[in-house]
């Protein structure tokens, strides 16, 4: 079983938007994919989204999904929700998933990376993301590890696959996350896809690089389930 948590700047999107990508991952990994639905900002600010995702993860365990055969993935803001879900599970003493993949991760909500300036991303900028962030955080400090898992204690988390495109502003924090996770003892793989935009996985029906990325996720998960 793979639990996938969608992105959307914590404020938009739903699982249905990711049916095609979820199906592609399911077929490649020979797995059941569960698409998470969670409350969205600004109507439901932090911590509603993280709380919902953790409840979904708990629910899968309550349904007797074997954690040794359970993986978790998320894209963009969903990457933050994946990491916070696993950190909450660790804190609560629940079994962690066998592996996790995060795609085009927005995991430093302070947006401190130089790549917000150096990368000319047509889909996201620091300025365009700021209103969504304000609606989600409602004044909470964006450097708080409880909201920005890039700064959290990552020790004890399962093997982590990070995929990011070279043409997105998030590439800098993806690299920082990989460094921090590896330093914490997490088995970490960072894939930087040359020339790819934000969540290029969505274009797997016609883009070879997207098909390759999804296949890489499937292989990674199969390597770690038992």
b/e map 198-217, b = 16+ CB within 10 Å: bbbbbbbeeeebbbebbebb
Residue in 76, 88, 101, 104 annotated catalytic: 76
Q: Is 198 one of the annotated active-site residues of the chain?
A: yes
Q: Is 176 one of the annotated active-site residues of the chain?
A: no
Residue in 6, 198, 201, 224 annotated catalytic: 198
Hey, what are 25's tokens?
């991952």
Coil, helix or strand for 4?
Answer: strand
Give the total residue count for the chain.
Answer: 226
Residue in 11, 101, 168, 224 annotated catalytic: 168
Q: Is 224 one of the annotated active-site residues of the chain?
A: no
Strand order in the sheet with 188-193: 33-35, 2-5, 71-75, 99-103, 160-165, 188-193
Q: Which residues are catalytic?
A: 76, 168, 198
């Amino acid at each position: 079983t793979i639990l996938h948590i969608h992105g959307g700047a914590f404020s938009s999107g739903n699982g249905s938007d990711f049916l095609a990508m979820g199906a592609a991952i399911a077929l490649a990994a020979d797995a059941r994919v569960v698409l998470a639905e969670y409350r969205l900002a600004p109507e439901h600010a932090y911590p509603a989204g993280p709380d919902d995702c953790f409840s979904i993860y708990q629910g899968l365990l309550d349904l007797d999904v074997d954690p040794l055969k359970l993986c978790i993935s998320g894209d963009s803001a969903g990457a933050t929700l994946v990491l916070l879900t696993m950190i909450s599970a660790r804190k609560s003493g629940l079994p962690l998933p066998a592996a996790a993949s995060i795609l085009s991760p927005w995991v430093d909500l302070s947006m401190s990376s130089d790549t917000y300036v150096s990368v000319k991303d047509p889909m996201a900028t620091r300025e365009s993301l700021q209103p969504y962030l304000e609606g989600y955080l409602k004044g909470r400090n964006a450097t708080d590890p409880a909201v920005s898992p890039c700064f959290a204690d990552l020790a004890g988390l399962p093997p982590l696959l990070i995929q990011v495109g070279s043409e997105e502003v998030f590439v800098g924090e993806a690299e920082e996350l990989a460094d921090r996770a590896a330093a914490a003892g997490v088995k970490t793989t960072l894939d930087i896809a040359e020339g790819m935009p934000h969540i290029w996985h969505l274009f797997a029906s016609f883009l070879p690089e997207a098909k390759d990325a999804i296949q890489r996720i499937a292989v990674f998960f199969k390597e770690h389930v038992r």
